[in-house]
């Protein structure tokens, strides 16, 4: 997929314009900027539109970051974002407006508009907080936005990122609103597979038990407890091992809570060795690759550890967190759901 970028910005100093993908530190191309003019052609390896952004260095090494206007649901005030979408043609022909409140002697923050294609239009016209705090109202708003822009890869990517926050039925309804080109994409297919797994897991209740450290299958939860804290981890995961000392304290201090650790180790010997070394005396289970797919459908697990959830006896996820969580924050969450 090729993107052509043309620039004619009257107040842009001589230097070099840089194109990045997703984040500032992922520069993928550059071009000279002379008298405010620049031209760049970039061939993307991906067939689907990507998030891209721009910055500029002048000959005195002063950096200028480009930002683009985008509205929000909760406020009429315009927000600014640092990226657009990789349409086939992108044209810069408006002067930069310097944001003096945040600019400094090393970095200029500049707001501007851009003439892009339909993917950039749909992205900038989709509110910045559209997918925050998803409920029935926001699901309807998302549906209206997809109806308006059924070709939008940004909206598809947002559904991919928030698929665990949506009910399978709502997600399925939203997916059907996209056009046929979107429905041929790999991302669309991945979400469809996720929905199928989620529906299958709910219907058949497959993932109610896993292999334990005593080699027998064991129920994931003991229904004598009303709440269950499940931590997904691996013996090779540094942040996971950092959590173990305060998981021991939580297990000791919360007698009404069931603590369960589920390992994604491929090497069972390494898993059992770590259990012995760390003296992890609470329920220990391990999930193979097939189990992990079902755990994704049941609990939103995406193979990233540590991953912490609190569930009730109906396997409803009450809380979820990816990454290292402090004991203080976890204590606060446990009190909230006690």
**Cα pseudo-dihedral 278, 280, 281, 283, rounded to 10:** -160
What are the pLDDT digits (tens) for 75-131?
A: 677 889 999 999 999 999 999 999 988 888 899 999 999 999 999 999 999 988 888
Paired tokens of 93: 């022909």
Own/partner long-range contacts of 265-271 (Cβ < 8 Å, ≥24 apart): 265/234, 265/235, 265/236, 267/235, 270/235, 270/236, 271/213, 271/234, 271/235
**What pLDDT, on the 0 to 100 scale, is given for residue 313?**
85
Which is more confident, 320 or 287? 287
Evaluated on CA atoms 207, 212, 218, 222, the torsion sign reads negative
Burial of 37 (0-12, 13-18, 19+ CB in 10 A): middle
Task: Give yes or no for residue 297 having a pLDDT over 90.
Answer: no
Reading the block at residue 338, the tokens are 């006690």
Percent of the chain with pLDDT over 70: 97
Alpha carbon dihedral 154, 159, 165, 168, in 10-degree steps, equals 160
Kindly report whether the peptide bond that precedes residue 306 is cis, defined as omega within 30 degrees of 0.
Answer: yes
**Number of other residues whose CB lies within 10 A of the CB of residue 171:** 21
Per-residue pLDDT of 3-62, as tens digits, reads: 999 999 999 999 999 999 999 899 999 999 999 999 999 999 998 999 999 999 999 999
How confident is the model over 235-254, as a mean pLDDT?
94
Q: Are 224 and 234 in contact (CB under 8 A)?
A: no
Q: Token pair for residue 304?
A: 């990233």
């Amino acid at each position: 997929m090729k993107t052509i970028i043309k620039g004619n910005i009257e107040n842009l100093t001589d230097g070099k314009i840089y194109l990045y993908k997703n984040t500032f530190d992922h520069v993928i191309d550059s071009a000279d900027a002379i008298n405010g003019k620049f031209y760049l052609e970039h061939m993307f390896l991906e067939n689907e539109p990507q998030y891209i952004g721009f910055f500029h260095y002048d000959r005195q090494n002063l950096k200028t970051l480009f930002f683009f206007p985008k509205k929000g649901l909760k406020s009429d005030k315009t927000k600014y974002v640092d990226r657009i979408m990789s349409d086939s043609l992108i044209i810069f022909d408006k002067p930069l407006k310097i944001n003096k409140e945040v600019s400094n002697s090393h970095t200029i923050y500049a707001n501007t508009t851009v003439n892009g294609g339909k993917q950039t239009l749909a992205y900038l016209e989709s509110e910045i907080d559209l997918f925050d705090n998803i409920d029935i109202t926001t699901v309807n708003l998302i549906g209206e936005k997809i109806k308006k822009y059924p070709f939008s890869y940004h909206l598809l990517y947002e559904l991919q990122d928030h698929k665990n926050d949506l009910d399978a039925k709502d997600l399925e309804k939203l997916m059907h609103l996209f056009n046929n080109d979107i429905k041929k994409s790999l991302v669309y297919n991945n979400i469809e597979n996720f929905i199928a797994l989620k529906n299958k897991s709910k219907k058949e209740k497959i993932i109610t038990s896993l292999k334990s450290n005593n080699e027998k299958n064991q129920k994931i939860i003991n229904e004598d407890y009303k709440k269950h804290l499940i931590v997904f981890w691996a013996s090779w995961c540094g942040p996971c091992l950092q959590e173990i000392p305060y998981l021991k304290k939580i297990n000791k201090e919360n007698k009404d809570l069931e603590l369960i650790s589920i390992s994604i180790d491929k090497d069972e010997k390494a898993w059992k060795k770590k259990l012995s070394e760390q003296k992890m005396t609470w329920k220990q289970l391990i999930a193979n690759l097939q189990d992990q797919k079902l755990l994704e459908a049941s609990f939103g697990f995406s193979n990233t550890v540590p991953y912490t959830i609190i569930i009730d006896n109906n396997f409803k996820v009450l809380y979820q967190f990816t990454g290292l969580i402090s004991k203080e924050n976890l204590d606060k969450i446990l009190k909230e759901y006690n």
